[in-house]
Amino acid sequence: MSSALSVYLTDKMPVNYLAEKALLAFKDDAAHIVIGDNEEENLRRIQKAGRQLDTQGITSLSVQGPGWDKERQWALSLGYTSTLSTNSVQWSAEVADELQQVNDVFRFTRELVNLSAEEIYPVSLAERVAKHLSELAPDHVSYELIKGEALKAAGWMGIYTVGRASQHEPAMLVLDYNPTGDADAPVESALIGKGITYDSGGYSIKPSEGMLSMKCDMGGAATVSGALSLAIRQGLNKRVKLFLCCAENMIDGRAYKLGDIITYKNGLKVEVVNTDAEGRLVLADGLQAAGEAGAKQVIDAATLTGAAQMAVGNEYNALFSVDDEAAEKALRFARQENELLWRLPLNRWHAENCPSAFADTANSRPQKGGGAGGASNAAGFLLRFAPNDGKGWLHFDLAGAYQKSATAMWPAGATALGVRTIAATLRG
């Protein structure tokens, strides 16, 4: 077994033949990462150096010397990975247990997203998450799996309609984490995840290049599941319900069509003008379920719109809320956890921005990408279903959840960006 490569931090390049802007140098059988005075930039430099070390085939690192606080060590770990790697980092003893917890959760979250749709389909996604959380807290977790025609009977028409054309039946996971010992304890928080395990676009079919990465369209379900897993490991003592809205958006003779009307459990009628705007259709069921549970705080997460990616890029997630206090809390936790999050506009009138002549609302606008303001209009659609008139509700549009190809910061595939922020918001 090879020994780990020692990695040091330095404020001066240890060799004189490299450019001043170089991130990394090798000297005396060790790697040296050059940092400066700006800590935000330092974390980016360390993560980029981790990527370079990963691409050079180095399988084990050990942090050495002064300057390695928890966030710097985690930044190194974020870069020092890939979809196929089994790399390991030997962290400093004082933070090793804490970072290993986060690392285990990130590996779980990334694996869910990176596995192919042949391996992760609606029921298997729900079962994997239920198994993971049940093993983590066996005395505090119970769950129910509603699938196939039982969804229709229960009134969860969004999930049922989107998923009915697939050979893999749609499903809703309803998982209850209750560490209080009181069966009647109030539900402090509800987590809702978009679990579209593959998205062809339906009859509004995607082009081939747009479909290639659509195994990642259950990134919201993976993110909230990972967040709950992390919060439990960190001592979460509040009751939380998890709702995963799982379906494959496929095409056959039973597939839903443009012009169809979906009548939801709350009586709201929605005209389908784009079958590729399916994420909001399934999340609507989860939001109603959260309302039935009486949750005080409601958080949903989804790889929902390309418009959010156009707005914030692939290194941020986008946040929407009509509750300023709740939004500021989430942004504060994102800064604390060093995860990039940006609040985009959401007003109550956004709920009116997808009008229909045949129903209470349409699920989008009949324009490419939903037209101008597509991410805000999607959030406005969800606002129609948010409990408590949107008080305590946070919607994460996960623009940074998946990288189609490797970058200087990230490997190709899932990033798990947002897991730490949502876990902290649950605990806070």
**Integer Cα distance of 319 and 78 in angstroms:** 22
Residue type, 47: Q
Instruction: Write out 340-407 in H/E/C secondary structure.
Output: CEEECCCCHHHHHCCCCCCCCEECCCCCHHHCCCHHHHHHHHHHCCCHHHHCCEEEEECCCCEECCCC
Token representation of residue 228? 């709950």
Token representation of residue 23? 């991130």
Backbone angles phi, psi at 227, to 5 degrees: -65, -40
Q: Beginning with the edge strand found earlier in the chain, give each strand of the sheet holding 88-90 in spatial order.
A: 24-27, 30-34, 5-10, 60-63, 88-90
Q: Which of 115, 129, 130, 127 shows the shortest CA–CA distance to 83?
A: 115
**Integer Cα distance of 381 and 388 in angstroms:** 15
Q: Is residue 280 annotated as part of the catalytic site, yes or no? A: yes
* DSSP run (H or E) holding 293: helix 279-293
Q: Which of 5, 2, 3 shows the shortest CA–CA distance to 25?
A: 5
Residue type, 223: T
Q: Is residue 239 annotated as part of the catalytic site, yes or no? A: no
CA distances from 225 to 98, 221, 230, 302 (A): 19, 6, 9, 12
Catalytic annotation, pick one of 44, 206, 391, 427: 206
Q: Are 189 and 295 in contact (CB under 8 A)?
A: yes
**Non-local CB neighbours of 236 within 8 Å, separated by 6+ positions:** 177, 179, 228, 426, 427
Backbone angles phi, psi at 307, to 5 degrees: -65, -35
**Integer Cα distance of 392 and 290 in angstroms:** 12
Catalytic annotation, pick one of 280, 365, 384, 420: 280
What is the separation, in whole angstroms, between the first and last Cα of the chain? 42
Q: Which residues are catalytic?
A: 206, 280
